[in-house]
Amino acid sequence: MNVEITRLASGLTVVTQNMPHLESVALGVWIKSGSRNETENEHGIAHLLEHMAFKGTARRSARQIAEEIENVGGELNAATSTETTSYYARVLKDHVPLAIDILADILTESAFEDEELEREKHVILQEIGAANDTPDDVVFDRFSEVAYRGQTIGRPILGTPETVKSFTPNQIRGYLSRNYTTDRMFVVAAGAVDHDVLVRQVEERFALLPSSPAESPVFEPARYLGGDVRETRDLMDTQLLIGFEGKAYHMRDFYCSQILANILGGGMSSRLFQEVREHRGLCYSVYAFHWGFSDTGIFGIHAATGGEDLPQLVPVILDELRKASDTIETVEIDRARAQIRAQLLMGQESPAARAGQIARQMILYGRIIPNVEMMERLAGITPQRLTDLAGRLFFDTVPTMSAIGPVENLAPLSDIRAALSSPGFGTQTATG
């Protein structure tokens, strides 16, 4: 694995993987800071900053930023998540210096002009409105909010119309100076890239970045709480989420949780898809997922169905959870491992996906995880470990439920909690 890592004197880390058969390079800057790093009066500012970074600098207008990268056939974009923010480009190998120059420009010399800020606020308000009109987006926002009530980690990344309208250029600069510091930033490139040349370019162009914040607020660790939120809407279907406290990235059962989610609802061969959709026809979409964060996690099942099928659907899902705590077959683990291995290796064939993999591993673990080590971790997962984990996940934590649509036939959370502790409930109700 030809990955090279250099930590500059400033504290900024540069990581590259040369892929000599390519003519292009995917490169970007990943910051270990996201919506979770906002203070109470900054809700939505991380996402707004990501937008404003492209709206003009001391040397380039917003139009010049777009034109310069597209004049050479390149692409430029960004993304904000709960714990990270990224700015990335893909260009032909000859245009890496230009991409580095633009990325450095937008991250160190953005102008944050009032006129551009007001225009971008309007764009984000439209984005918030569009998200609120999309039930399968809203149901996930409500899910996080109720699972982590009153905490930054549970808030929607976009913010609210009220908070977005309130932001000033100085507030954006304050968030930027506090979070975009070299001790939490990684420049990553994959493709036809020369490590030493890139290091010199980064060292020169990113010299203006602060090495650490002058002061930074202290954020409390996340506390999973669980709970119930449902909204009646006049829709053709119901969007439903049922969740449980999961595992943080660094916890022993993190990879077990990923395997368990795959077995339960990771594809067309998964238990939930086969039983709920194929065998019973109770929904048109069902899958399981596990989100890991730095200090918490959440395990969930999403289903989309007609409201009339809810009385049968929920007990069948709960019954599958109970079955997972009783029996997991070795062949299911092997299939899940094969799927994860294929996703891992296929991702490494794409420079953009590979750069993202490297950045995530550096942010989470401070090092690159070799494929062999990853597969060794997965190889140690046994049926007994999975059934034990399923029992603890599904029966020892308070469930989280989020539902939008015709929800009149959805059982109260108290009944679902009782069902999880009452042997045979799922099967009896589903067949009765």
Q: 356: which 2 tokens?
A: 């993202």
278: annotated active-site residue: no
CA atoms within 13 A on the CB side of 256: 23
| Angle between the N-to-C axes of helices 310-326 and 254-265, in degrees from 0 to 180, rounded to the nearest 10 | 130
Q: How many CB atoms lie within 10 A of CB 423?
A: 9
Q: Which of 134, 101, 100 is nearest to 27 (CA)?
A: 100
Q: 237: which 2 tokens?
A: 């279907």
Q: Which of 297, 301, 258 is nearest to 283 (CA)?
A: 301
CA 108 – CA 104 distance, rounded (Å): 6
Q: Which of 105, 109, 108, 114 is nearest to 169 (CA)?
A: 114
Which one is catalytic: 4, 23, 40, 50?
50
Q: How far apart are the first and last CA of the chain?
A: 56
Backbone φ and ψ of 284, nearest 5°: -100, -10
Q: For the chain, state the CA radius of gyration.
A: 23
Q: 20: which 2 tokens?
A: 């000599």
- Give the H or E element holding residue 17: strand 13-18
Distant-in-sequence, close-in-space partners of 189: CB < 8 Å, separation ≥ 6? 15, 16, 17, 25, 26, 27, 28, 96, 198, 355
Q: How many CB atoms lie within 10 A of CB 2?
A: 9
- Give the H or E element holding residue 140: helix 135-147
CA atoms within 13 A on the CB side of 73: 8
- Give alpha helix (H) positions in 96-134: 96-108, 114-132
SS (H, E, C) 44-60: CHHHHHHHHCCCCECCC
Q: Which residues are catalytic?
A: 50
